[in-house]
């Protein structure tokens, strides 16, 4: 301001005070009463500028919480206790199957337990007699061998039942009685039944899918990023997800995986984000728009776009002087992000700048430019 006071206009007064000439140096004067009401001034501060990438993708299930449930042995479905869309809890019974193979295995196991009991009793008897020199060593050794063989056979049958999916406590040590050929299939974790491939009376082979369960409270979003941008993407980057079904809502997620190869045809890399879906609004198979926050720089001057004016050749802002005077300051601009624009040069940190009402000041300069008169 002091420097501008030293400059004289053709009317031999400080140009800054001359109504007819001050526009020549880019100064405009307004009534001080409108400052704060129509014209808003703020300090220039350094702030982050976010760089975003746009992509389209598809919602998919979280494969870490996704399972295709199948029996370990063939069987006929006696009961099916769930249907499409049912929510299930860990351990909940999904179906009951009847397996001839299991029935035979259980019968063999029951027989082997009885044979072991008999072999043990015979071994203990022969051992006692041998110590008393009543039976021969050959008889004792034969009883010992039979006992060891019975133990081996029972262990083998126990392992066979375990491979069929039976548990030691609940199945192998079942009370004596009729041998059952029924077995249950249970949910391995909480989730939703998204597919059912079994009906009552249907014969299912071993490892043939009967039910698919997915935990839909956390979903994945797959999308493609061009190879030129892939160096900007990092695991942990934030993403904003939107879908056509909920046009007024946005869903947040994080990048959890970046592909290791480039698609030769599209020159893109697969990227995966994970998002909370406890509301279960996002459905696998939905198309999604993805905004990927890939970089934030904290050393940039960012202004609202309305703070910047243009005369068709240069961009400029207004900085306050005093007594209702404002000075035009030319600026060079950079990236525009969400209604803000980066100022590359022309302003410094802690400068004051007009962020609202700049168009009014621009109009006043134009009026003074075409006006006449001199302020003494």
* Tens-digit pLDDT profile for residues 240-266: 999 999 999 999 999 999 999 999 999
Q: Which residues contact 168 (CB under 8 A, 6 or more apart)?
A: 158, 162
Question: Is 28:359 a contact under the CB 8 Å cutoff?
Answer: no
Please give the pLDDT value at position 168: 56
Topology of the domain covering 65-94+185-214? OB fold (Dihydrolipoamide Acetyltransferase, E2P) (2.40.50)
Distance CA 320, CA 43 (A): 11
Burial class (CB in 10 A: 0-12, 13-18, 19+), 237: buried
Residue given tokens 């001050």 in the structure block: 22
Split at pLDDT 50, 70, 90, the class of 296 is low
Neighbours of 109 (CB within 10 A): 22
Split at pLDDT 50, 70, 90, the class of 196 is very high
Distance CA 101, CA 179 (A): 12
Query: Are 65-94+185-214 and 100-180 in the same CATH fold?
Result: no
Q: If you average pLDDT over each of 24-28, 162-166, 274-278, 349-353, which comes out highest?
A: 274-278
Summarize the confidence of residues 327-355 as an average pLDDT.
87
Token pair, residue 114, equals 């009885």
The region that residue 304 occupies, defined by phi over 0 for left and psi between -120 and 50 for alpha, beta otherwise, is: beta
Pairing of strands 309-310, 251-258: unpaired
Residue given tokens 């946005």 in the structure block: 250
The pTM of the whole model exceeds 0.85: no
CATH architecture of 2-47+299-369: Beta Barrel (2.40)
Please give the pLDDT value at position 375: 44
* Tens-digit pLDDT profile for residues 58-90: 999 999 999 999 998 999 999 999 999 999 999
Flag whether pLDDT at 374 surpasses 60. Answer: no
Please give the pLDDT value at position 279: 93
Distance CA 32, CA 336 (A): 32
Domain definitions of the chain by residue range:
2-47+299-369, 52-64+215-297, 65-94+185-214, 100-180
With pLDDT > 70 as the criterion, what percentage of the chain qualifies?
91
Topology of the domain covering 52-64+215-297? Elongation Factor Tu (Ef-tu); domain 3 (2.40.30)
Flag whether pLDDT at 314 surpasses 80. Answer: yes
Q: If you average pLDDT over each of 8-12, 57-61, 293-297, which comes out highest?
A: 57-61
Measured between alpha carbons, how far is residue 202 from residues 146, 206, 211, 270, 332 in Å? 43, 13, 14, 40, 74
Distance CA 126, CA 144 (A): 8
Please give the pLDDT value at position 224: 96
CB hemisphere CA count around 374 (13 angstroms): 9
Burial class (CB in 10 A: 0-12, 13-18, 19+), 367: exposed
CATH class of 100-180: mainly alpha
Q: Running DSSP on this structure, what letter comes out for residue 229? A: G
* Tens-digit pLDDT profile for residues 138-161: 888 999 999 999 999 999 988 888
Question: Is 188:64 a contact under the CB 8 Å cutoff?
Answer: no
Phi, psi dihedrals of residue 188, rounded to the nearest 5°? -80, -20
Token pair, residue 232, equals 């900007």
Distance CA 155, CA 177 (A): 21
Question: Is 38:178 a contact under the CB 8 Å cutoff?
Answer: no
For the chain, what is the largest distance between any 2 Cα atoms, rounded to a whole number of angstroms? 144
β partners of residue 49 = 297
Summarize the confidence of residues 106-122 as an average pLDDT.
90
Q: If you average pLDDT over each of 13-27, 61-75, 105-119, 159-173, which comes out highest?
A: 61-75
Summarize the confidence of residues 353-358 as an average pLDDT.
93
Q: If you average pLDDT over each of 114-128, 263-277, 343-357, which comes out highest?
A: 263-277
Flag whether pLDDT at 222 surpasses 90. Answer: yes
Distance CA 362, CA 343 (A): 19
Split at pLDDT 50, 70, 90, the class of 347 is very high
% helix / strand / coil in the chain, to the nearest 5? 25, 40, 35
Summarize the confidence of residues 217-244 as an average pLDDT.
93
What is the residue-averaged pLDDT of the chain? 87
Cα angle, residue 352 at apex, residues 349 and 354 outer, rounded to 5°: 125
Structure-model confidence comparison of residues 337 and 108, the more confident one: 108
Please give the pLDDT value at position 87: 95
Summarize the confidence of residues 162-175 as an average pLDDT.
63
């Amino acid at each position: 301001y002091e420097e501008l006071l030293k400059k004289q206009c053709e009317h031999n007064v400080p140009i800054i005070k001359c109504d007819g000439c001050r526009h020549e140096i880019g100064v405009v004067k307004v009534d001080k009463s409108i400052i704060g009401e129509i014209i808003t001034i703020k300090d220039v501060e350094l702030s982050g500028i976010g760089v975003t990438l746009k992509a389209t993708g598809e919602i998919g299930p979280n494969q870490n919480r996704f399972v295709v449930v199948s029996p370990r042995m063939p069987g006929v479905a006696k009961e099916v206790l769930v249907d499409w869309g049912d929510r299930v809890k860990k351990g909940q019974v999904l179906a009951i199957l009847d397996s001839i193979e299991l029935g035979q295995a259980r019968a063999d196991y029951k027989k082997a337990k009885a044979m072991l009991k008999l072999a043990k009793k015979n071994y203990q008897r022969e051992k006692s007699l041998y110590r008393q020199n009543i039976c021969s060593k050959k008889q004792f050794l034969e009883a010992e061998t039979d006992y060891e063989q019975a133990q081996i056979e029972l262990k083998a049958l126990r392992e066979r039942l375990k491979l069929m999916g039976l548990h030691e406590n609940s199945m192998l040590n079942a009370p004596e009685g009729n041998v059952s050929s029924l077995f249950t299939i249970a949910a391995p974790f909480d989730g939703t039944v998204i597919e059912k491939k079994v009906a009552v009376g249907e014969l299912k082979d071993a490892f043939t899918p009967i039910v698919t369960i997915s935990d839909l409270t956390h979903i994945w979003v797959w999308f493609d990023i061009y190879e030129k941008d892939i160096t900007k993407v990092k695991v942990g980057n934030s993403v904003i997800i939107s879908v056509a079904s909920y046009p007024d809502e946005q869903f947040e997620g994080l990048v959890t995986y970046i592909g290791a190869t480039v698609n030769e045809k599209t020159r893109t890399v697969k990227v995966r984000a994970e998002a909370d879906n406890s509301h279960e609004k996002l459905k696998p198979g939905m198309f999604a728009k993805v905004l990927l926050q890939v970089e934030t720089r904290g050393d940039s001057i960012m202004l609202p776009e309305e703070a910047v004016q243009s005369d068709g050749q240069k961009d400029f802002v207004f900085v306050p002087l005093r007594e209702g005077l404002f000075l035009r300051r030319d600026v060079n601009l950079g990236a525009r992000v969400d209604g803000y624009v980066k100022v590359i040069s022309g302003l410094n940190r802690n400068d004051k700048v007009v962020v609202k009402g700049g168009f009014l000041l621009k109009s006043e300069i134009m009026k003074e430019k075409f006006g006449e008169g001199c302020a003494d």
